[in-house]
Amino acid sequence: MNNYHSISNKTLDLTTIQDIVTEHKKLQLSEEAKQSILKCREYLDEKMKSQDKPIYGINTGFGSLYNVKISRENLTKLQENLVMSHACGTGEQVPQKVVKLMLLFKIQSLSYGHSGVQLETVNRLIEFFNNDILPVVYTQGSLGASGDLAPLAHLSLPLLGKGEVVFEGELMASEVLLKKLNWAPIALRSKEGLALLNGTQFMSAYGVHLLLKSYKLSYLADLIGCVSLDAFDGRIEPFNELVHLARPHNGQLKTAERVREFLDGSALITQEKQHVQDPYSFRCIPQVHGASKDTLAFVEKTFKTEINSVTDNPNIFAEEDEIISGGNFHGQPLALALDYLKIAMAELGNISERRIFQLVSGLRGLPAFLVNNPGLNSGFMIPQYTAASIVSANKQLATPASVDSIVSSNGQEDHVSMGANAATQAYKLVNNVERILAIELFNASQALQLRSPLKSSEFIESFLKSYQEVVPFVTDDRILHDDIERSISFIENLQIDSAELF
């Protein structure tokens, strides 16, 4: 099995990224990418030999200091100063899985040959990726325009032997790491610091990480929703394909089809019902879950474009003999997509909590709070409180960050995306949805066991058998926090084929 992924002009997509992540693949530059990087750097070096007029960020200051000309002998110092001065992040550390994606996407963006970096610089970033040398990056500091300046500065510091990294589970100074591996610091040349810092890789890495997780949670929302539907003695008619062909949103059709497949062969779903309709949280699963699926498709399209793009500034076009200062670092497309993702995922949590509420309400022959001897036992009364608390927190996190802006750099950078804030909010929100779905699974598993001897489908029974080995039936009150944590862990560790997800 080839354990390398070749960095080239071939489009990165979610399936490829999932494969890189799960198979722990290493990176290598294609010959095409190497030549693109070398030609661009050679062009820039030749240009600078005869260049006296100011070119933003190459021989000038940055931001509102764009008019300050820098002498040729200070161009390396200019780039190093840029990286150090912009390393102003604070707050929590960015999760290591996200940092690794930041490295991947920065390498991809630099490989197109429009950034002017040295091949040596890109190769060092690849060494970081391949050896799990993960720079310490902080969650706070980016406005989501001019690129993710502060986070990317922290990502770049170890190239200079500065800042900190996590290597082999140990936090260490980058200077110590370089000595340990007998590596020399990279001497940045003109434009390189700006190429490293201008870009959207912080937002992009969060977005792609959350997309991968959100697709999994979307699948599980359908599956767990089916367990709840069967446990609630729900009806199958609302999932008939005819209903959804009459309103053929892609996500709606896909959700209804999944529900039919998951419940195929269930004795519970086919038994005679005493009720004509189910509450919306069951009956409208295709419409609600489906709308979130359609949102994920939009968000995926946005991020797929972004991670296969050049997002630093200025852009160098060697063949056209042009160096152009533009605005590809502006995170507005990502900010809007991340806000949309937040809203869509919050709704999956919202409707899940409503199903939890219905299951514990003592309806349709289920005991109140899903426990024997209610009164002496409180049973599943309080897990619903927990889910409701998380749902309410998600409503606050789902407030759009992208409608905000604030002036920076002395008025030169007068409109920003706030996409980085949207990214960190989305990270908390999506993890919260995982917790809500874990609580629904905990409730639904209990409720379905109370329907014995009637069984659900073979697929659902097999799924629940694995779950119930981790979280068994609750006979009498016990510390349910432990069960909830085990339920979350069960969902986190569940492996689902990517063909089922995307």
Collapsed DSSP state (helix, strand, coil) of residue 205:
helix
Helix ranges (DSSP H) in 87-143: 96-110, 119-130
> What's the token pair of residue 351?
């409707």
322 DSSP β-pair partners? 317
172 DSSP β-pair partners? 165
DSSP E strand boundaries for 98-221: 134-135, 138-140, 164-167, 170-173
Collapsed DSSP state (helix, strand, coil) of residue 495:
coil
Is 340 one of the catalytic residues? Answer: no
Containing 6, the helix (H) or strand (E) segment is strand 4-7
CA dihedral 43, 47, 53, 59 (to 10 degrees): 70
- Other Cβ atoms less than 10 A from the Cβ of 22: the count is 11
* Active-site hit among 4, 43, 56, 66: 56
Burial 406-425 (b: 16+ CB within 10 A, else e): eebbeeebeebbbbbbbbbb
> What's the token pair of residue 88?
């102003």
DSSP E strand boundaries for 318-362: 322-324
Residue 294 CB-density burial (10 A; 0-12 exposed, 13-18 middle, 19+ buried)? middle
C-alpha to C-alpha distance for 281 and 283, rounded to whole angstroms = 6
189 alpha-carbon distance from chain centroid: 33
* Three-state DSSP string of 268-281: HHHCCCCCCCCCHH
C-alpha to C-alpha distance for 501 and 19, rounded to whole angstroms = 13
> What's the token pair of residue 277?
């309709």
C-alpha to C-alpha distance for 402 and 476, rounded to whole angstroms = 48
Terminal alpha carbon distance of the chain: 23
What is the DSSP track for 360-408?
Answer: TTT-TTPPGGG-SSBTTB-TTHHHHHHHHHHHHHHHHHTS-STT----B
> What's the token pair of residue 191?
């434009």
> What's the token pair of residue 482?
């432990």
72 CB-near residues (< 8 Å, 6+ apart): 48, 59
C-alpha to C-alpha distance for 486 and 381, rounded to whole angstroms = 18
Which residues belong to the active site? 56
